[in-house]
Structure 1
């Protein structure tokens, strides 16, 4: 049995650094015979055990963070999950998600795996997540991570961190940032499946055509007319579901493409990402 005296100051110091509870910190210091670093390791290991024990839990709550670099040439969006809405609304949880996004902006990892391997405050992001699983008592983790580059990248966070959008445009200059935000809100609201007609997945096109044909047949239209009517329905799908061809939400008299060109001649979207919590 250890005879090392554990002071309240030591317990508080460990608590301040790790965020663990007072009793957990005291127990860690006792188990480590007063060795502060060993106590931190003890709490980290405890966190790892908590994380392992909660792998079967659902973590569909959380936050989505979207940010761009200072020069606006690159943006990142990530989804950081937890189990309950209560934790998702906690300021410390949101701050941790922002730290991960800031690190991604600074270090430019290309993939989620690369992001998890980056170092934050002396530990890998993966280990920081494990440590905080122990502190929070819920399964947490980064489930999605996307990067977009362009001449001007505009980030947008919608609905209290529940949805994030990145929009890359081919120009920068007067009015472009504001236009980018309008388009980001369009993407948040309308959820386009692709940027333009040519970007739609061929399987999606085939599916839409087959659905259209079945609908037309069910209406009793002549077989000779089916192909032509199906083509019209496909064009309607493009208008409804591809970003540049959608009606602009703020002015339905024009498409998103026309709105952008009127903002600045030749202005268009080159890429976008939309990440919705739990989707």
Structure 2
């Protein structure tokens, strides 16, 4: 337990788990500097503490914006924490930026979590899956299992918290949030977001330039 622990190992473990420096050092000592084993140890401890914090009220935070290159996609997101002190921390503001970029990159995302998906959307998805031709001859028990699996997959596609983090596909957005709860010591919530796509919802008139020129000449 008195072994010297590499500062690079501690830094990597903090980035991967969001745990405190002393906890990371202890985890590396226990795991004999095995990073993966240390991650597992800290998930049982550090992320469990994040779960407890997740029920606390978060009314401070930031509204972050992201405009993608070319200015054709823009995102506004409200990220909440418990205090203005944490809202001003670099790590919290960087998290808001990462989430904004995630929303811009994942255009199928419509809701924050599974709890936010309206019941009528779920029922509609079930009706669509149930009517597909490849299930017509399946026994009811098998058909129900296939539909349930497809619905689960579909709902994950449209919810932000279930998306793989674009900067580290080994974790999802929900895990990223938990890491920052453990790191900053406060509850963190994505409250709402809006995505703007240039021209979305407009009827775009298509021009036939050849016919237009001929019409002008005649």
TM-score (norm 2): 0.60
- Residue of structure 2 in register with 1:161 after alignment: none
2:188 equivalent in structure 1: 140
Structure 1 equivalent of residue 152 of structure 2 = none
Deviation at 1:112, TM superposition (A): 1.7
Provide the rounded CA distance (Å) in 2 between the counterparts of 1:170 and 1:87: 44
Are residues 1:7 and 2:27 paired?
no
The structure where strand makes up a greater share of residues is 1
Aligned 1:1-279 pairs, distance under 5 A = 5-9=3-7, 10-15=9-14, 18-108=17-107, 109-113=109-113, 114-120=159-165, 121=168, 122-151=170-199
CA distance in 1, matches of 2:174, 2:18: 17
Query: Against the structure 1 CA distance between its residues 17 and 54, is the aligned structure 2 distance closer, same or farther, given a 3 Å change threshold?
Result: closer
Deviations 1:143-194 (A, max 9, x none): 1122233428xxxxxxxxxxxxxxx9999xxxxxxxxxxxxxxxxxxxxxxx
CA RMSD of superposed structures (Å): 2.8
Q: Deviations over 1:224-275 (max 9, x none)?
A: xxxxxxxxxxxxxxxxxxxxxxxxxxxxxxxxxxxxxxxxxxxxxxxxxxxx
Residues 52 and 40 of structure 1: CA distance in aligned 2, closer, same or farther (over 3 Å): same
- TM-score, length-normalised on structure 1? 0.48
Pairwise CA distance, 1:119: 1.2
Identify the range of structure 1 (129-138 vs 13-22) with the bigger mean alpha-carbon deviation: 13-22
* Distance of 1:20 and 1:52 partners within structure 2: 13
The 1:6–1:169 alpha-carbon spacing in structure 2 relative to 1, beyond 3 Å, is farther
2:75 alignment partner, SS class: strand
Shift of the 7–78 alpha-carbon distance from structure 1 to 2, 3 Å rule, reads: same
Choose between structure 1 and 2 for higher RCO, CA contacts under 8 A separated by at least 6 residues.
Answer: 2
Q: Can you give the 5+ residue segments of structure 2 that lack an aligned partner in the other structure?
A: 114-158, 205-218
Residue 140 of structure 1 and its aligned partner are, at CA, apart by 0.7
Q: Is 2:74–2:195's contact at 8 Å kept on the other side of the alignment?
A: yes
Aligned residues: 154
Deviation of the 1:77 alpha carbon: 1.7
Structure with max Cα Rg: 1
Taking the aligned partners of 1:151 and 1:139, their CA distance within structure 2 comes to 37
Q: Distance in 2 between matches of 1:15 and 1:147?
A: 31
Going from structure 1 to structure 2, the CA distance change for 1:13 and 1:112 (only over 3 Å counts) comes to closer
Tell me, what secondary structure is at the counterpart of 1:20? Answer: coil
Query: Contact 2:66 / 2:100 at 8 angstroms: preserved in 1?
Result: yes
